[in-house]
Amino acid sequence: MSTTPQKSWIPGADNSDFPLAHLPMGVRVRPDGSHALVSRIGDQVVDLRVLAEIGVFDDTKADRKDFAQKSLNQLIGRGKAVTSAVRTRLAACLDDDPGYWDLRSRKEIFLLPAKQAKLVLPIEVGDYTDFYSSIEHATNVGTMFRDPANALLPNWKHLPVGYHGRASSIMVSGTPIHRPKGQTTPGEDGKPGFGESKLLDFELEMAFVVGQGNKLGAPIDVKNAEDHIFGIALFNDWSARDIQKWEYVPLGPFLGKSFSSTISPWITPLEALEPVRLASPKQDPTPLPYLQHAGSNNFDIKLEVYITPEGGEPSKVCASNTKYLYWSMAQQLAHHTVNGCNLRPGDVCASGTISGPTPDSYGSMLELSWKGTKPVTLSDGSTRKFIQDGDTVTMKAFVDGGGVKFALGSVEAKCV
């Protein structure tokens, strides 16, 4: 579709976080308990199921029933050509051209105030993979826990390192986080500790959602990889550092990660991000041919993290950007499938913590407080090494460039 932003007939929409250039996708539960796929413009939620039932998407190769599902999976599994056609048609309904003029007189049947819409987890996540694609984050962690002179392990610049995460505990923004219990590193008596994690942390990540999958044994070529990515969403990959530290050798993260991750209710289609494409950082050494792709494969998306103490005001503790990611989403997807592994619609691949080059851009408390040695001061004067009970962690993301400006759906969770 054209990425030229057009004006909407909905008052104020084009100066909001959700202008016509954005049109994210999500799922609502209606008061009668049924589900509907939705989008958002200005302060209005657009019920796509209503539009589908009056035939608006009939010539897009989407089925009317796709819009009445509990998740986006069925629709996005049809592939990029279909989801792009739906997006183009939706934009035509909401833009200033008179093509769908008759809908305006019936707007109350498909628009409702965002505050009245109950949004749910927008995808059924069959599998969740977490990568480790920020060179700054990997370098910081390697420096803290291993050897500053050899912070990156020998494989890191040759492949996007990742592990298989837990899909069942991915929750939609707003779901509380329960502090996990687990084993921790033995003390002087040689016995492991056990109890609630004392080192609860967030990880600022961006997740991509797989649209059309691939068959077992049929890898996805890096050059076509974005055809298999429906969109992206902010993602907080909660981590218990003390549990993680004791358990992770030799098979990697387990209970220190699997207790929960939080995802935005709004998935932003890749098409909306075209205006803020940019080149990834230069890769040296050049990766193997199956990971090589020319052109602009990264995105300029500003990221922020806030901590709000119980009853207090939010303090910004981090400002980062997806442009720092060393490995692109296309490279992650090509690597994930190069062995023939099949991905399915709704699978989630998260980037790994996105840290930038400066200390105020680090995407976890582990790095911001440098393993607890440099407490972070909040606006009320209190300090944090890690996340305390009652704290709410909020992640925000913005694009501002190429003629478009909008905010991606935020991610928020309170530690209880």
Residues annotated as part of the active site: 137
Q: Which of 127, 130, 300, 412 is in the footprint of Mn ion by CB under 5 A?
A: 130
What tokens were used for 23?
């049109």
Residue 126: which H helix or E strand, with range?
none
CB of 316 to Mn ion, least distance (A): 21
Q: Which of 66, 201, 237, 304 is in the footprint of Mn ion by CB under 5 A?
A: 237
Q: Classify burial at 251, counting beta carbons within 10 Å of its beta carbon; exposed 0-12, middle 13-18, buried 19 or more.
A: exposed
146's CB contacts (< 8 A; 6+ apart) are none
The window from 78-86, 126-134, 311-319, 357-365 that contacts Mn ion (CB under 5 A) reads 126-134
Letters for 312-351 (x = contact with Mn ion by CB under 5 A, - = none) are: ----------------------------------------
When the beta carbons of 205 and 271 are compared against Mn ion, the nearer one is 205
Reduced to 3 states, what is the DSSP secondary structure of residue 5?
A: coil
When the beta carbons of 130 and 300 are compared against Mn ion, the nearer one is 130
* Cβ proximity of 348 and 209 under 8 Å: yes
Q: Classify burial at 273, counting beta carbons within 10 Å of its beta carbon; exposed 0-12, middle 13-18, buried 19 or more.
A: buried
* Cβ proximity of 92 and 101 under 8 Å: no
CB of 365 to Mn ion, least distance (A): 13
When the beta carbons of 73 and 353 are compared against Mn ion, the nearer one is 353
Reduced to 3 states, what is the DSSP secondary structure of residue 84?
A: helix
CB of 253 to Mn ion, least distance (A): 8
DSSP one-letter code for 341: P
Count residues near Mn ion (CB under 5 A): 3
When the beta carbons of 36 and 333 are compared against Mn ion, the nearer one is 333
Quote the CA–CA distance of 220 and 349 in Å, as a whole number: 15
When the beta carbons of 47 and 203 are compared against Mn ion, the nearer one is 203
* Cβ proximity of 275 and 3 under 8 Å: yes
Residue nearest to Mn ion according to CB distances in the complex: 237
CB of 261 to Mn ion, least distance (A): 8
The window from 22-30, 237-245, 283-291, 372-380 that contacts Mn ion (CB under 5 A) reads 237-245
CB of 235 to Mn ion, least distance (A): 8
Quote the CA–CA distance of 148 and 139 in Å, as a whole number: 8
Count other C-beta atoms under 10 Å from residue 342's C-beta: 16
Of 42-101, binders to Mn ion (CB under 5 A) are none
When the beta carbons of 133 and 298 are compared against Mn ion, the nearer one is 133
CB of 350 to Mn ion, least distance (A): 6
Quote the CA–CA distance of 169 and 325 in Å, as a whole number: 25
What tokens were used for 101?
């003029």
Residue 300 interacts with Mn ion (CB under 5 A): yes or no: no
Q: Which of 17, 203, 347, 367 is in the footprint of Mn ion by CB under 5 A?
A: 203
**Rounded-to-5 percentages of helix, strand, coil across the chain:** 25, 30, 45
> Could you list the residues that contact Mn ion (CB under 5 A)?
130, 203, 237
